[in-house]
Amino acid sequence: MLRFIQIAALLMCVCIAPTFAQAQMGLPNGTSSVPDTQVTLPDDLTVETANALISRLSDAEVRAILLDQLEAKAVQKPEDDNNVSDFFYHATAGAFTSITVAVERLPLLFTQQAKAFSTFYNDRLRGFGGLLKLLGYMALVYGSGIIAELFFRRLTRNWRILPPADPDNMQLRETIQLLVQRLTTQVVAVLIFVGVSRAVGLAILPEDILPIVAIVGLYLIGFPRFMLSIGFFLFAPMNPEYRLLNVDTKSARSACFHQFWIAFLLGFSGAIIAFNELHGVPMGEMRLGFWLNLSLHIYLIVVLWRYRDSMQSMMRGFDPDVSVMENRIARAYPYFAIFVVFAVWWVINIVVSYENFALLRSQPHYKTMMLLMFAPAMDTMIRGLVRHFAPPMTGEGAVAERAHASAKRSYVRIGRVVVFGLVIISIAGFWGMSPENVASAGVGPQLAAKLMEFLIIMSIGYLIYEVVSLYINRKLAAEQTASGFDPESQEIGGDGGGAGGSRLSTVLPLILAVCQATIVVVFLLLGLSNVGVDTTPLLAGAGIVGLAIGFGAQKLVTDVVSGIFFLVDDAFRTGEYVEVEGTMGTVEKISIRSMQLRHHKGPVHTIPYGEIPKITNFSRDWVIMKLRFTVPFDSDPNKVKKIFKKIGQDLLAVEEFKDDFLAPFKSQGVLEIDDVGMVIRGKFMCKPGTQFMIRKEIFNRVNAAFASNGIEFARREVRVALPSMDNGDLTEEDKAAISAAATQAAQDTAPGGAGDQR
């Protein structure tokens, strides 16, 4: 429903631009007289040359030169004093005055239009008989066109009927191909009707009736049917599986219906204007164009308001991945379109109040309205094209999926900024937005042109910003996918120590931030310089601030330089578990001056690079985990060794752990003998980050294997020798001694720290 509004406005500009503009503004038909000879003043004018020139000229020629000079002085009046207030006058009171003039001349419209019909009936038709003769000629002419069109439609019947299709298996290329095929046959059918009717009319019609028949055939029959063909292409009201826009069938049929009648209104405007011109009715005096223009805008506003829900659905498109901002834009779009229709109508009245009728001859207001209404709707088309033609996902996993979705959003943003730049350039071309043309139009000298240039520069800068971001983000995703590191899927509250990303994936976020900041600053300065802002003080101020920072924040410089050398040395990467002077955690984020460590228990430590004397990296390349088991003194170490070896071989066959081992779990023999039992140690080598899950599994399997083989873990015992035990009775003193000994033993074996600092 939105598209038919824009296309209707476009074809209206093409078909009825000259006549409709003259009707709206009442353009004068006469031409100004130009003198046969023109006297020009020499560039090096002196008193002598002036006297000599005056002596050769007649009084009329001297008067003409004086008038030219006075007129030039009037044109060169200071604009700074009057232009702003003059513009506000025309934007408010002047535009309102142009409306009141049209209302005041409303009675004249009826009398002048009646005069045109009377002239047509009496002078051209010459009574009722001529009217019947005209109707007969129309039937013959249009009947010939219909017969020729029906013959063509029969020949192309298979092209016009869309075959049944499965929307889930339809490719966009195939859909567009079939729709274009049908559109072509429908448009050619309309052209055959118009062409055959015109040929028959030229052959049989009298000269006084030929223009009327041609006007009716072109404006009231051909043009609306052509617009209806466009509506069937966009909305496919009878074939929802071929529909290009996300609207329901009822709304699609209503859109085609209103598209036809809007086109008929436009055609009627062109026909009545051409009719009045043929019969000598001055269009400017009756202001018929104002009322035709007003009726068109009212019709558009009513349609936009009535089908605002369908327009919101169309703006969301078929893609389910709609962001919050896109959803807000979709909800606001119908109201934006209504505002654009009203704003364009008001701009027309402003220009009319300037009496700058030449500016509107090419219909820039309708073209502008079409683009401003159509540009947001192109977002649907851009997302559809990206959905069908974006490169496929590279790799597998969550990182690849997020990178693919991010790349699609980047393609959409790039398409949007390209469309925005094209819209700005097109609007500038519609209104002749060079400084000279804008100044002659009297609508803010050079201001509008400078604004257009500023927006174009910002569009180019944003385009480069998105392209650079897209390239670096794709490289970053490729690096993360290749290394298997996903910073967003790290286990919260885990033990840490996992493998980090690659060296390039650690540096790329910093490169991206620097590139983005550089692009923003450069293009902002270019845009401000283009609109006349002197950027030299800004650059000088920035230099002074940088110098002040250099002297007053030497620690900051130290942090930045130290960070550069740490990154060059590849001392740490994002996702690795490191220790800095007793502070341990996973490298969660790096910036220009500091790094953030996330401890596995939750705290985040921010450490400036300049305060790092040494970094211990627990996640680089491989990890060796050594486990201690204490067994009673009478246990067989060889039996324990065989148990450990079997557990190691079994774990290599487990699907969950087999790819994580670099060396299997095995025994290292008896490490020491203490007062509890024998300490036997086992070890294994694995990839960083997997050691903790493997350790848990080994503990479970060792516990089960010891239980099945009759091996118990050694337990600390406290033995107290009591002389009174010979009698078999414990006194209160004996019980106190036993309790004190147990307490002392427990204190001796308790850990010295307040908790696990790892």
Would you say residue 188 has pLDDT above 90?
yes
Instruction: Flag whether 356 is in a domain.
Output: yes
Q: Which pLDDT band holds residue 75 (cuts at 50, 70, 90)?
A: very low
With residue 709 as reference, give the H or E element that holds it: none
Structural domain including 668 reads: 623-708
Instruction: Flag whether 660 is in a domain.
Output: yes
Q: Which of 30-34, 298-302, 474-478 has the highest mean pLDDT?
A: 298-302
Task: Please list, in sequence order, all residues whose beta carbon lies within 8 angstroms of the beta carbon of residue 36, skipping any fewer than 6 positions away.
Answer: none
Average pLDDT over residues 580-608: 80
**Which of 389, 422, 443 delimits the end of a domain?**
389
Integer Cα distance of 651 and 694 in angstroms: 9
516 or 436, greater pLDDT: 516
- For the chain, the distance separating the N- and C-terminal CA atoms, rounded to the nearest angstrom, is 64
Among 277, 334, 307, 686, CA closest to 499: 686
**Which of 326, 358, 389 delimits the end of a domain?**
389
**Which of 351, 370, 389 delimits the end of a domain?**
389
pLDDT digits (tens, 9 = 90+) for 222-257: 889 988 898 888 888 888 888 877 888 898 899 889
Res 434: pLDDT: 54
Min mean pLDDT across 8-22, 259-273, 350-364, 624-638 is at 8-22
Integer Cα distance of 503 and 573 in angstroms: 6
Instruction: Flag whether 428 is in a domain.
Output: no
Integer Cα distance of 395 and 11 in angstroms: 48
Would you say residue 357 has pLDDT above 70?
no
Long-range own/partner contacts, residues 490-496 (CB < 8 A, 24 or more apart): 490/575, 490/586, 493/600, 493/601, 493/602, 494/600, 494/692, 495/600, 495/692, 496/577, 496/584, 496/585, 496/586, 496/599, 496/600, 496/618
Exposure pattern of 683-711 as b/e (b: 16+ CB <10 Å)? bbebbbbbbbbbbebbeebbeebbeeeeb
Ramachandran bin of 497, using left for φ above 0, alpha for ψ from -120 to 50, beta for the remaining angles: left
Q: How many domains does the chain have?
A: 2
Is-contact 650 633, C-beta < 8 A? no
Is-contact 244 380, C-beta < 8 A? no
Res 189: pLDDT: 92
Average pLDDT over residues 337-345: 87
- Which residue reads 């535009």 in tokens? 95
* Token pair of 128 as six digits: 């009722």
* Token pair of 457 as six digits: 């520069």
Instruction: Flag whether 491 is in a domain.
Output: no
How far is it between the farthest Cα atoms of the chain?
157
Instruction: Flag whether 543 is in a domain.
Output: no
Surface-to-core class of residue 496, CB atoms within 10 Å of its CB (0-12 exposed, 13-18 middle, 19+ buried): buried
Instruction: Flag whether 314 is in a domain.
Output: yes
Instruction: Flag whether 575 is in a domain.
Output: no
Long-range own/partner contacts, residues 85-88 (CB < 8 A, 24 or more apart): 86/442, 87/442, 87/443, 87/444
Instruction: Flag whether 201 is in a domain.
Output: yes
Q: Which pLDDT band holds residue 134 (cuts at 50, 70, 90)?
A: confident
Q: What is the CATH number of the domain that holds 654?
A: 3.30.70.100
Q: Which pLDDT band holds residue 191 (cuts at 50, 70, 90)?
A: very high
pLDDT digits (tens, 9 = 90+) for 483-502: 555 555 555 444 555 555 55
Give the global pTM. 0.57
Res 148: pLDDT: 92
DSSP bridge pairs for 714 = none
Res 298: pLDDT: 92
